[in-house]
């Protein structure tokens, strides 16, 4: 059976499938790249946004890895070429869109204030999770409790600074340091703190203290 070229002209149906696959998969790649860029630009924290860049590159590599073998056989050449185009276009559109959004100052995490905080800076609230909590359990806590709207990056508007504390920064615990904005209403903060306190993963909470002032 011929691999690179058919021994007779391919059927109309085969040509149509390859053509539709090429166009359709290319369009999917463009759409995914644009959607990933919009989603990445709306994230509030830079360290989370880094995963979007990883996803863009990984998707391109996976598509090309599957597309190259399919592109060799003439019967599936359109599908293979479509996968390769989808991977390359999605990555290119993502990076291009992020560049445009960055210049237009539409990237939320560009103004991430966490970098302005150090262990010696006073935080409004420092949260320690129980010893033995895994990083994944910490991420679940962040997305389900700290972001009450249910969207992992959607912290309340009155939270001005968020900083994740690794175990080597928090006496062996996974933790969080939060600074509330001056204009935050007291009842908002009180309700937020109470909702955090009720979570079984929380070991202790400290108010108006610098993370490095907390001792075991």
pLDDT, mean of each 10-residue run, the chain (216 residues): 60 81 92 93 77 92 93 84 94 94 79 60 93 90 76 69 89 92 88 92 94 88
pTM exceeding 0.85: no
What is the structure's pLDDT at 150?
Answer: 47
What is the structure's pLDDT at 215?
Answer: 87
Contacts of 20 (CB under 8 A, 6+ apart): 78
Q: Max CA-CA distance within the chain?
A: 79
What is the structure's pLDDT at 14?
Answer: 75
What is the structure's pLDDT at 153?
Answer: 52
Based on its alpha-carbon atoms, the radius of gyration of the chain, rounded to whole angstroms, reads 24
What is the structure's pLDDT at 127?
Answer: 95
Lookup: tokens for 4: 């690179």
Place of tokens 């007291």: 186
């Amino acid at each position: 059976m011929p691999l690179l070229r058919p021994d007779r002209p391919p059927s109309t149906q085969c040509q149509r499938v390859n053509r539709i696959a090429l166009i359709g998969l290319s369009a999917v790649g463009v759409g995914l790249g644009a959607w990933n860029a919009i989603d990445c630009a709306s994230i509030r924290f830079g360290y989370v946004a880094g995963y979007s860049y990883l996803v863009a590159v990984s998707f391109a590599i996976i598509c090309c890895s599957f597309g190259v073998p399919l592109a060799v056989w003439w019967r599936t050449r359109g599908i293979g070429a479509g996968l390769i185009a989808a991977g390359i276009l999605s990555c290119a559109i993502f990076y291009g869109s992020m560049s445009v959004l960055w210049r237009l100052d539409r990237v939320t995490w560009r103004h991430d204030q966490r970098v302005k905080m150090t262990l010696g800076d006073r935080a409004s609230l420092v949260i320690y999770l129980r010893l033995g909590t895994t990083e994944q359990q910490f991420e679940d806590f962040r997305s389900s409790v700290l972001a009450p709207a249910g969207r992992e990056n959607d912290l309340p508007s009155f939270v001005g600074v968020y900083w994740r504390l690794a175990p080597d920064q928090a006496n062996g615990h996974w933790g969080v340091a939060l600074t509330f904005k001056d204009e935050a209403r007291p009842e908002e903060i009180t309700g937020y703190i109470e909702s955090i306190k009720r979570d079984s993963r929380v070991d202790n909470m400290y108010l108006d203290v610098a993370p490095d002032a907390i001792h075991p």
